[in-house]
Structure formats: structure tokens, C-alpha cells
Amino acid sequence: MTAPTPQQGAVPLVPHSPATPAAAPERASAARPLRAVRKQAPRATGAARTLRWKRRYAILLVTADAAVAGAAGVLAWVLRFGASHLAYLLFSVAALPLIWVVFQALARAYDPRFLFIGPEEYQRTLLTGAAVTSAVAVVSYGAKLEVSRGYLALALPGAVVLDLTVRYAIRKWMHRGRVRSGRFMQRVMAVGHEQSIVALARELHRHRYHGMQIVGACLPTARPHQPWVEGIDVPVHGSFADVATAVDQARADTVAVLSCPELQGAELQRLAWELERSSVDLLVAPALIDVAGPRTTIRPVDGLALVHVDHPTLSGGRRVAKELIDRAGAFCILLLISPLLAAIGLAIRLTSPGPALFRQTRIGRDGEAFTVLKFRSMYMAAEERVAELRSANEHDGVLFKMRDDPRVTPLGRFLRRYSLDELPQLFNVLGGSMSLVGPRPPLPSEVAQYPSDMYRRLVVKPGMTGLWQVSGRSDLSWDETVRIDLRYVENWSLALDAMILWRTLFAVVRSRGAY
């Protein structure tokens, strides 16, 4: 077993080769005797370090929650009463922030398990808004207090909207810190088979905003002759029996146990007991792929924890609600942007010959063909030129994409950059052939080349936006596009749709991956 140096936790994730010159200093450092490391000043364990920045982050959220609740209350007081009724001003700056923070804590909105990634944090803020509203109504009714309904109608929804916005901004600040400077990262000791560790390491390196960095690995059996994981610069710290020691050596704060038959049942429980003493987090990756938490529940049976997996919600009341939201949302948006649609259509007709709208056959739910509407962004007869440009395709898989496509008009480049060419698809949503959120609508030629698993994405309606758009759009590889679409189908929820719509606004403004 090779003892890593403190610097090895930040080893770049690059293919490892014994002949790589850049890797030589790191290996020389790894060969230094342990006494050279012991002479350094004592440092906090990885778990203690992570606990400190998580506490600071929670304090930041508490401060932000109190501030936005007070701001919402003061704004509601000004709009409702002007400079009168000072009792409401006092309530806004003193009582409302305290009430809001207490209810956020009761909703576990400061629990690290629900922060940093995913929609759970925002759902708990919405729950806080509903709980505070209910509590105020019950208390005012029980105590027979005369409370201004106009003030509450402004203050509480305002607090929810402001809090969601500020929490989103704080989260994005953290993500930027993780990507740019490696701050707020959890140091992970990966335990499992080599192939699984390599896949996890590359995935975490590709998506650094998740905040996990693999600093070491433990394999089923010790390999003294192989101090590094094959293919990546991650040091091997020994076998499964050495996990607790490896955590201390690598200053890890998290252990990720990948699915493997050698470490289950009693062995996994003993590992949890060992890690409990040092407050190191234990993550266990099940064999299930891309199945989110809401679909899984733990069902204990005679001391054995079984994971119950619900079927994805493909019908029922929530699907009816999604249909109503889609139709109503498309109708309202069309009313608001109708002047913009007319202006874009006129600009297209004036800048290039041909109609303003482009119609194309796409494949929708259950494999049914429909006609998608878009603003024309290419010159006429662009479809006939695909064959001659096929050799310049910049996308893998079955998609055809070019950054500098000669078929695209100058106005079309602008429309595509900000996804304005897709606005007519609101008529498809209004007609029921598309949804506001869903997988990308594929061409018949693409569907003809689908592997069998990919047909799973056709069980739901395609969407104007989706996980694929907020995750990089055309910059994604074909395999990533497939995985993201299937993940959406398997884990769909109204909350996920709301989060995707929110993130779409920022993805469109940044225009990343749009060409």
C-alpha cells in the first residue's frame, strides 16, 4: 500500500501513463518517506474541514433568508400602507425574518443533504411559504386578530420569490467556486472495482459543480505493484480492509462505495461503524442507474433494507396537471409575445427569400409523427444540402450539427443564439403535440437509428426545453444526450419541470451550446 502525499488529493484527472513527464514529479513526491510528511504542521481532518465550510454556507443561507423576508415585509408595508401603520413595519423587520428562518429550519432547508444540487432545497422553501401562510391564518383566527390580507398577500409570496432567487444565486456562486478554484469540494475515497471508479472519477471531473473530487481508491484486493488506478491519476490506498486508514491518509471526508458483491451486508455495516467515529460521510451507489430519490424508498424486511423502486409517473393526476399547465402556459405566453412573433416573422421575410415559418416532421409521444413549427433560420432548400455537408458534421451519434453552418442566414444565427427560432413551437404545445418541458423532438431519420433503449424517450411528449437544453444543448455528446433524455423520462415531476423552466431562462441568456 502506497502512502499518498498531501498534494495527491488535487492530482489532475488525466490519462495516466508511466512515460508521462508531468506525472514524474508527483510520483517522486509519492515516494518520499512518511517522516517527511509528519514534520509538517498538523492539519484538520477532511471531515472537519468540510464541516466548517458547510456551517459557513448554512450561516450565509440563514442571513439571506432573514434579509429577504424582512425586505419582502417592508416592501409589502410600503405598497399597502405607505408610511402609516408602523406596527406592520415592526413586524416586517423584527418578527417576519425570525418566523421565516424558524420555519425554514423546521422544513430542513439548511440540511446539507438538500443543498448544493437538485430541486429539494427550493421545494422546502415553497413548503415554508405555505406553512407560514397557514400558521398566520390559524393564529389570527384563533386570537381574533385583525390582520391585513393585502399585506400578507404581498409579503409572503414576495418572500418566497425573493428567497428562491437569492438561494439560486448563492448556489450558482458556489458552483462557480467549485469549477474555477476548487473551493467547497468534498474529498471522496472511492471504494469498488477499478472500472466503476474510473467511470465515476471522469463523470465527477466533467461536472465539477457537483462538488466531489476523488482523492483515492480502495480496490477489492491490494496491488502493491499498481499504486495508481489504471487510466486516471488517482492513488490506490489498498484493499477494502484498508478503507478507514486510507480516509485518514488522504484526508477524505466522504467514502463512496460503488456497487460490488464483495462489500455488502455485514461488511458494509462494519465499514459504516468505523467511519462513524470520524464523522466521515458514507455514500452507497446502488446498481440502479439514473433513478432519483423520489422514486426510491427503503423498506426494512427482517433487518434487511430493501430499496423499493416506484414506476415513473407516465399517467394519472400529475400528468393531467402537466397538460393543463402546458396549454395554459403556452396560451398566456403567446398573448404576451405576439408583437415579438410578428416582428421576427417580418424581419425574416425582409432579409431572405422564403416563408417566415419552417415546418418539419418530427416524432412525438408513442412514435407518432407531427409537424413542428419554427421560425426559418436557414436559406431555402437547406435540407437538400445536408448530404454534401455531412463530412463537416461536428456532432457524434445520429445528430447533424455545425457551428458555422453555411445554410444559416445572418438573422438566423441571432435567432438560434437566443432560441428565438423555437418560439412558434408554443403553437405545438397549445395543440397538444408538444410540452413546455420534455426530451428533444427527434427527426424520423434519427429515430430509425435509435438503439432499443432509446425508444424509452418516446413514451412522453417532446418539449420546447428540457434537461438537454439546460445541460449544454449542442455541446453535449450523443451518449450524454441519450442519458439525459432517459433520466428526465424516469424521474419526471412538476417540480423538475419548474426547475428546468427556471434554468432555461439563464441558459438562453448565456446562449451556451446554441448554434
DSSP string, 134-163: HHHHHHHHHTT----HHHHHHHHHHHHHHH
15/309: higher pLDDT: 309
- Is the per-residue pLDDT at 226 higher than 80? no
pLDDT band at 390 (very low <50, low <70, confident <90, very high): low
Query: Which range scores top for mean pLDDT: 21-30, 148-157, 206-215?
Result: 148-157
Beta strands in 185-338 (DSSP E): 186-191, 212-219, 236-239, 254-257, 281-284, 296-301, 304-309
Amino acid at site 122: Y
- pLDDT of 12 above 80: no
Q: Which letter does DSSP use for residue 122 in this model?
A: H
33-37, 262-266, 331-335, 455-459: range with highest mean pLDDT:
331-335
pLDDT at 45 (0 to 100): 62
Stretch 455-464: mean pLDDT: 88
Query: Residue 363 is inside which H or E element, if any?
Result: strand 357-363
pLDDT (average), residues 364-375: 93
Q: Say how far apart CA 239 and CA 258 lie, in whole Å.
A: 14
pLDDT at 319: 85
**Closest Cα partner for 507 from 461, 460, 474?**
474
* pLDDT at residue 331 greater than cutoff 50: yes
pLDDT at residue 102 greater than cutoff 90: yes
CB-based contact 462:435 (threshold 8 Å): yes
What's the pLDDT tens digit per position in 175-199?
A: 999 988 888 999 999 998 888 888 8
277 versus 321: which is more confidently predicted? 321
Q: At what angle do helices 149-181 and 120-142 cross, to 10 degrees?
A: 160
Quote the pLDDT of residue 46: 66
* C-alpha span between 254 and 191 (Å, rounded): 11
Domain boundaries, the chain: 6-19+183-309, 48-180, 317-510
pLDDT at position 403: 67
Mean pLDDT on 18-43: 35
Longest dimension (CA), the chain: 80
| 455 or 133: which leads in pLDDT | 133
Is the per-residue pLDDT at 24 higher than 50? no
pLDDT tens digits along 273-312: 888 777 788 888 766 555 655 666 666 666 666 666 766 6
- Three cell numbers written together for 128: 415554508
How far out from the chain centre does Cα 506 lie? Answer: 13
User: What's residue 28's pLDDT?
Assistant: 35
pTM, to two decimals: 0.69
CATH code: domain 6-19+183-309 is 3.40.50.2300
Closest CA to 484 of 508, 501, 467: 467
